[in-house]
Amino acid sequence: MFEERVGRVLHNMEEMGLEQMIISDPPSVFYLTGRWILPNERLLALYLNKNGNNKLFINKLFTVDGDIGIEKVWFSDTDPACRMIADCTDHEKPLGIDKKMAARFLLELMELGAGSSYKNASECVDGARRIKDGEEKEKMILASRLNDEAMARFRGLIKEGVTELEVAAGMCAIYKELGTEGPSFGPLVSFGANAAIGHHKPDGTVLKDGDCVLFDVGCKKNSYCSDMTRTFFYKSASEKGREVYEIVKKANLTAQAAMKPGMKFCEIDKVARDIITEAGYGPYFTHRLGHCIGIEVHDAGDVSSANQDIVQEGMIFSCEPGIYLPGELGVRIEDLMLITADGAVSLNRDSKEMEIIG
Amino acid sequence: MFEERVGRVLHNMEEMGLEQMIISDPPSVFYLTGRWILPNERLLALYLNKNGNNKLFINKLFTVDGDIGIEKVWFSDTDPACRMIADCTDHEKPLGIDKKMAARFLLELMELGAGSSYKNASECVDGARRIKDGEEKEKMILASRLNDEAMARFRGLIKEGVTELEVAAGMCAIYKELGTEGPSFGPLVSFGANAAIGHHKPDGTVLKDGDCVLFDVGCKKNSYCSDMTRTFFYKSASEKGREVYEIVKKANLTAQAAMKPGMKFCEIDKVARDIITEAGYGPYFTHRLGHCIGIEVHDAGDVSSANQDIVQEGMIFSCEPGIYLPGELGVRIEDLMLITADGAVSLNRDSKEMEIIG
């Protein structure tokens, strides 16, 4: 167990009026224990209590080597695992639950009266994860440095006659060569009008002259994620493409320059959105400005018009404005930003100047 | 919506005393609607009510093309999705919940008073999925036929100096060549003593003379899964290896011959387990005999000593006895079985005779 991290979770629990909670989400268990346990449909439960009666409930099918500073309680597929947990919880006190616990376990714990009430207490651990400690910052910086190296090489995949799927496959090979654990999400490769489609997955579309080329890509290194988007043009760029590119770049840079601790997330979103809206493209920036990132590509928390939370030193999130013109093109420019004492630094160094390739 | 499937779910709900339920698990939504919607951390909810007031609640980020015979209710990331669902449920009646709904949605629905009580009602849809209809049987047969073809070719991957990881990569390529959607799970390739380790993942282990070679593999075709295990020997087989192989084969064949509707799942497990126990290897058969399979490799329901449920015509599950001798070898032989009116047929035709390769 990382005691300092556990201490922060317990502190957050206290602020929420909780003395006990169950954490079941594997990335959060990894965050606190340093071990990846992927139970699939089976139960995994890290029980925390302010009195120090912490326990990790794990199915015997999985392995957790060595002493990790917490009592391990093993159960088999035929053992009453929820009953074993309920035998350990304080039935007279509210029980915090993390957001992804499967309904079948929660409903069974409720039937067993494991707590006096049940509260979604994910924010206790999500809030701790949102502020990176020194070790995490180093890992995030390394993952993004490797992503920069990858992006430099990805430019070489933009060739006559290539398909989106071929480029995506080439990216996976490059991530492997760079010694990463692979992509942190399926690389998004979109040519031309495909770049205007939200969640477009690489397909057999062939690159053609004048296409924009959108790469939204990231890798994992030491279990931490990177995530970056660059948009290029193949052989030539239309007037509209150039105009849109410069607006998106300005939104990206201006929002980054404005970031500092003490702001609200929604205020950062507004800086970027105002620039795009003033340029007349407001309706074509169809998503939030960014999302928190760390052990997961989408850690809890986002940079959106709805998020009133305060930005704090040590947070890392994406800054990814975009303009999408249906049937025509899409441009998005994304970096990961680390909030510092008096501003923010980008974890990505890859150039954002408009580039025509080929 | 597949009306006949929805009818079976509603029938199961009635037996459980439920007039309404929410299905959120993507494979179950696919089973009922024919559409794959993968919402990741976002909410997806198929609401069924015996009065016909069925609705599909989906985030606007996803696409569901065409008329699928159910009203679609779209919401954005900033809409109060749980409130929208609670506005539609009958607050005076118990509400069924499927087993994987994330705690944060369930706790919010509870706060909103969406039902008079909440019940894990997954079995209503899992029970329907467990009995395959005609179209599903055809798809399962095809997926296993392709898996047979693949296994025939996988034998060619057993070569001097090869590693487990190289064989696994070769398998993925063959599944692609055969026109499948890829493996239904990461192919398990274990050489020698590795075959005795539960959940061993392919690594850099190099094949050597006398090794057993365990392949536990499956593919997806038309969204349905296959799953089969064969164990070979490389260049030679020890006396112990031959003995264990024949015992496992006998357990596999005898259990298959015993299967018929009306039995309990635990009785089938016992047939195989008794053979292995009588041969003196009981403690080395360390898992259940099988699991149900369909849209997921592990559909709900298993062939274990603890399962008192009754086997019914149209069910498909694996029959996979094994003997694992730590530090030495492991043998498992697995087929998928379809329960018929008066017995069972194997969906796999690949030979189970002991084979020494190389």
Contact list in A for residue B305 (CB cut-off 8 A) is 78
For testing contact with chain B, the best of A99, A112, A295 (most B CBs within 10 A): A99
Instruction: List residues bridging with B134 in a β-sheet.
Output: none
Spatial distance between the Cα atoms of A224 and A297, rounded to a whole number of angstroms: 8
Q: What is the pLDDT of residues A209-236, one digit of tens each?
A: 999 999 999 999 999 999 999 999 999 9
The answer to whether the CB of A301 falls within 8 A of the CB of A269 is no
B260 burial type by CB count under 10 A (0-12 exposed, 13-18 middle, 19+ buried): middle
State the average pLDDT over residues B345-352. 98
Residues of chain A with pLDDT > 90, as a percent, come to 95
Q: What is the pLDDT of residue B139?
A: 98
8 Å CB contact between A199 and A158: no
pLDDT of residue A63: 84
A255-293 per-position pLDDT tens digit: 999 999 999 999 999 999 999 999 999 999 999 999 999
Mean pLDDT taken over chain B: 96
In the block, tokens 């539609």 appear at: B88
List % helix, strand, coil for chain A (3-state, nearest 5): 35, 25, 40
| B321 and B283 within one domain | yes
Nearest to B183 by CA among B156, B158, B147, B211: B147
Which residues of chain B are within 8 Å of residue A107 when distances are taken between CB atoms?
Answer: 97, 106, 118-120
Between A201 and A22, the higher pLDDT residue: A22
**Are A188 and A305 found together in one domain?**
yes
Contact residues for A166 (Cβ-Cβ < 8 A; gap 6+): A157
Distance of CA A76 to the CA centre of its chain: 33
The C-alpha angle B247, B253, B258, rounded to 5 degrees, equals 125
Mutation test of the interface with chain A: which of B37, B101, B288, B293, choosing the one with the most A Cβ atoms within 10 A?
A: B101
Average pLDDT over residues B246-270: 98
**Is the predicted pLDDT of residue B198 greater than 90, yes or no?**
no
Q: Tally Cβ neighbours within 10 Å of residue B288.
A: 20
- Chain-centroid distance of CA A235 in Å reads 33
- Other C-beta atoms closer than 10 Å to the C-beta of B164 total 23
CATH number of the domain encompassing residue B346:
3.90.230.10
Query: Do B7 and B137 belong together in one domain?
Result: no
Check pLDDT > 90 for residue B66: no
A108–B102 CB contact, under 8 Å: no
B93 conformational bin, left if phi > 0, alpha if psi -120 to 50, beta if neither: beta
Same domain for A170 and A52? no
Question: Quick one: average pLDDT of B223-247?
Answer: 98
pLDDT level of residue B357 (50, 70, 90 thresholds)? very high
Residue among A94, A71, A65 nearest A84 (CA): A71
A211 & A279 share domain: yes
Task: Pull the structure tokens for residue B354.
Answer: 């002991």
Q: pLDDT tens digits, residue range A104-160?
A: 999 999 999 999 999 999 999 999 999 999 999 999 999 999 999 999 999 999 999
**Co-location of A156 and A68 in the same domain:** no
Same domain, B123 and B171: no
Pair B201, B173 in one domain = yes
The DSSP code sequence of B37-103 is: ---TTS--EEEEETTS--EEEEETTS---S--SSEEEEE-TTS-HHHHHHTTS-TTS-EEE-TT-BH
How many other β-carbons are positioned within 10 Å of the β-carbon of residue B267? 18
In sequence order, which ranges of chain B are alpha helices (DSSP H)?
A: 3-15, 26-33, 81-86, 103-111, 122-130, 134-154, 164-177, 239-258, 265-278
A202 and A186 share a domain?
yes
> Which chain B residues contact residue A124 at CB under 8 A?
none
Average pLDDT (B9-22) is 98
Does residue B318 surpass a pLDDT of 90? yes
Cα atoms in the Cβ-side hemisphere of radius 13 Å centred on B249 = 14
A103–B102: do the CB atoms touch at under 8 Å?
yes
pLDDT of residue B40: 83
Three-state DSSP state, A30: helix
- Record the tokens describing residue A358, joined without a space: 């080929």
From B85, B101, B129, give the residue that closes a domain.
B129
**Cβ pair B102:A97 closer than 8 A:** no
CA gap A346, A226 in Å, rounded? 12
pLDDT at residue number B61: 83
Whether A190 and A123 map to the same domain: the answer is no
User: What SS3 state is found at B167?
Assistant: helix
Residues A294 and A163 sit within 8 Å (Cβ to Cβ)? no
Which residue type does A295 have? Answer: I
The CATH number of the domain holding residue B111 is 3.40.350.10
Q: Other CB atoms closer than 10 Å to residue A253's CB: what's the count? A: 18
- Residues 6 or more apart whose Cβ sits within 8 Å of residue A135: none
At B334, which amino acid appears? E
Dist. CA B289–CA B252, nearest whole Å? 9
Q: Show residues of chain A in contact with B106, CB under 8 Å.
A: 103, 106-107
CB contact at 8 A, B185 and B143: no
- State the pLDDT at residue A10: 98
Do A124 and A265 belong to one domain?
no
Do A181 and A329 sit in the same domain of this protein? yes
Please count the helices (runs of H) and the strands (runs of E) in chain A.
Answer: 9, 19
Token duo for residue B277: 């126990």
Q: How far apart are CA A336 and CA A227, in angstroms?
A: 7
Q: Taking CA atoms, what residue in B is nearest to A304?
A: B78
Question: What was the ipTM of the complex prediction?
Answer: 0.82
Closest chain A residue by Cα to residue B22:
A103
Alpha carbon distance B131, B137 (integer Å) = 9
- For residue B62, give how far its alpha carbon lies from the nearest alpha carbon of chain A (Å): 8
- Name the band, by pLDDT with cuts 50, 70 and 90, for residue A76: confident
Structure confidence at residue B258 as a pLDDT band (50, 70, 90): very high
Q: pLDDT at position A65, please? A: 83
Last residue of a domain, one of B129, B144, B164: B129
**Mean pLDDT for all residues in chain A:** 96
Among B81, B105, B129, the domain boundary falls at B129
Paired residues of A231 in beta bridges:
A214
Domains of chain B: total: 2
Report DSSP letters for B277-301, one per residue.
Answer: HHTT-GGG--S-SEEB-SSSSS-S-
Inter-residue contact A127 to A98 (CB < 8 Å): no
Displacement of CA B273 from its chain's centroid (Å): 21
| Across B245-263, average pLDDT | 98
Mutation target for B interface from A24, A44, A104, A304: give the one with most B CBs within 10 A: A104
Chain B nearest C-alpha distance from A77 (Å): 9
- The C-alpha atoms of residue B228 and residue B148 are separated, in whole angstroms, by 8
Is residue A41's pLDDT more than 90?
A: no
Count of residues making up chain B: 358
> Which residues of A touch chain B, with CB atoms under 8 Å apart?
40-41, 61-62, 77-78, 97-104, 106-108, 118-120, 122, 198-199, 288, 298, 304-306
Structure-block tokens of residue B244? 């264990």
Confidence of residue B209 (pLDDT cuts 50, 70, 90): very high
- Let me know: does B209 contact B325? Beta carbons within 8 Å: no
Residues A67 and B65: beta-carbon distance below 8 Å: no
- CA of A78, closest CA in chain B: separation in Å? 7
Q: Angle, nearest 10°, between helix axes A103-111 and B103-111? A: 50
Q: Round to the nearest angstrom and report the end-to-end CA distance of chain A.
A: 51
Q: Which residue range(s) make up the domain with A111?
A: 3-129
CA distance linking residue B13 with residue B2, whole number of Å: 17
Give the residue among A307, A330, A329, A310 at the shortest CA–CA distance from A320: A330
Instruction: Check B104 against A119: CB less than 8 A apart.
Output: no
**Using CB atoms, which residue from A61, A97, A104 is nearest to B107?**
A97
Q: What percent of chain B has pLDDT over 90?
A: 95
How big is the A-B interface in CB pairs under 8 Å?
Answer: 70
